[in-house]
Amino acid sequence: MVGNNKKIKPFLAGVVGGITPPPGGYPDIEAGGLGSFLNNILMLISTVAGLFALFNFIMAGYGYMSANGDEKKVQQAWAKIWQSLLGLVIVAAAFLIAALVGWIFFKDPTFIINPKIYGPGQ
């Protein structure tokens, strides 16, 4: 555990200096491990999927507005909108299925989504 009077040295400590934690400390500052890493990767992937879907919605909307009555361009824009919507539904369904499986088998909906990996002595 890092105390309040210790300094945490960043990568460029010689250039920018150390960082002093605020009063009260953070008891879990050294906690983490594989479970937190996998959870962060999962959140990163879902965030990127959401941003990609938003970008596709914007581009499909622009394509729909600039179709100028061309039926083929309108169909392409609608196809892109539906594919983006389907992708978002799949990402959301993955979280729901993981929570449901965790709830049914482990009595904890966050068992799969936010894993807790215990090591020796815990």
Average pLDDT value for the chain? 79
User: Which two tokens mark 85?
Assistant: 């919507």
> What is the pLDDT at residue 53?
94
The upper half-sphere exposure of residue 108, i.e. CA atoms within 13 Å in the direction of its Cβ, equals 8
Tens of pLDDT along 75-112? Answer: 999 999 999 999 999 999 999 999 999 999 989 888 88
CA dihedral sign of residues 92, 98, 100, 102: negative
Helix orientation angle between 34-65 and 71-106, rounded to the nearest 10 degrees:
160
Domain count, the chain: 1
The number of residues making up the chain comes to 122
Residue 41 within a domain: yes
Domain residues for 64? Answer: 33-106
Instruction: Give tens-digit pLDDT for 36-87.
Output: 777 788 889 999 999 999 999 999 999 999 998 899 999 999 999 999 999 9
- Evaluate whether residue 40 is within a structural domain: yes
pTM (whole model) above 0.85: no
